[in-house]
Amino acid sequence: MESLKGRRVAILLTDGFEESEMTSPREALENAGAKCVLVSNKDKVQGFKHHDKSSSFDVDLPLAKADASDFDAVLLPGGVINADALRIEKKAQQFVREMDRAGKPVLVICHGPWLLVSAGLMQGRTITSWPTLQDDIRNAGGNWQDRECVRDRNWVSSRKPDDLPAFNRESIAVLTEIRPGARQGARAGDPAGARS
């Protein structure tokens, strides 16, 4: 596996995120050499394990100061409370639009796609998510699939914590393939699921 040394990944989240959907990808990305930066509209964020509060984490960078050009990818963990609060943050919408416009990897799991819907990015994209989001995704012009991991160009998506091994593998793969500063071409997506 090619090292991700020098790559910077913004983890965009707020209170109520699903803890494993942040910590597991962060560990996998950092083990591959990437630098992960917690970006939020809070100074400290509260993680959850399903419906119960778990650990809290210090934020590395205020959302108001986050510049998409400083990052090579963005990770959007799930969690209903987190995703529902982030989707109405104009700065969060702007950040993911700029990341996607530059062809940078967008790594999203569970309820995380709500931000992509609200940012107007779903049209024509193939994605998976927690099943209750499928109507929102389809109504926004997306193609929802019930798979553990879906790759569509620069997007990698998964449904839930059980999918994290596949999500982490494909997240590292997309970061390995997409060079910093290079726009992602309009090649066909790979909606058939994660590569083994």
The amino acid occupying position 149 is C
> Is 36 among the residues known to form the active site?
no
> Is 111 among the residues known to form the active site?
yes
DSSP per-residue string spanning 129-175:
--GGGHHHHHHTT-EE---S-EEETTEEEESSGGGHHHHHHHHHHHH
Give the residue from 194, 189, 171, 181 showing the smallest Cα distance to 27.
171
DSSP for residue 26: H
Catalytic residue, chosen from 36, 50, 51, 110, is 110
Catalytic residue, chosen from 36, 50, 51, 111, is 111
The Cα–Cα gap between 20 and 55 comes to 10
What residues are annotated to the active site?
110-111
